[in-house]
Amino acid sequence: MSTPSSSSQYVYPRNPSSQSSSPTSEIDSLPDSAPSDDIDDSASESDSDAEKEWKESLQQLELILTMVLVPYAGKYFGRKCAYWGWAKFMEWKYPVEVVFTSKKTFKAAGAVEAAASL
């Protein structure tokens, strides 16, 4: 280690006798950030603009999910569960067999019913 100069960017302890030889003391003496003349202001500004746009687009995706897709999916799967539960109850309580003749039509009708009141 060289003698500290007045123009050095390193921070040295006030009492040189208390200096330990551990590697953490050397890391602690390094400067926290790069000098300000090395940073290009226009690059950091464009990065911040891109970061703001990214955060805004994530917020828009979150709004789409919470306001449109999650309620629609919950309604669709809730109706499917209710139809399944009602069919099981009817088969248990009464001697009735509930049969869906066309699963494709049943799924399409469930999707239309779920979207009807949105």
In a domain, 32, yes or no: no
CB 91 within 8 A of CB 97: yes
How do residues 54-92 score in pLDDT, each as one tens digit? Answer: 999 999 999 988 888 888 899 989 988 998 898 888 888
Per-residue pLDDT band at 11 (split at 50, 70, 90): low
Distant-in-sequence, close-in-space partners of 114: CB < 8 Å, separation ≥ 6? 72, 75, 76, 79
Q: 100: domain range?
A: 41-116
- What is the maximum alpha-carbon separation in the chain? 97
In a domain, 2, yes or no: no
E strand map for the chain = none
In a domain, 58, yes or no: yes
Q: How confident is the model at residue 88, as a pLDDT?
A: 87
In a domain, 3, yes or no: no
In a domain, 91, yes or no: yes
16-53: string of b/e by CB count within 10 Å (b at 16+)?
A: eeeeeeeeeeeeebeeeeeeeeeeeeeeeeeeeeeeee
In a domain, 90, yes or no: yes
Domain count, the chain: 1
Q: What six digits make up the tokens of 84?
A: 């399944």
Q: How confident is the model at residue 26, as a pLDDT?
A: 59
- Asked if pLDDT for residue 38 goes beyond 60, the answer is no
In a domain, 23, yes or no: no
The pTM score is 0.42
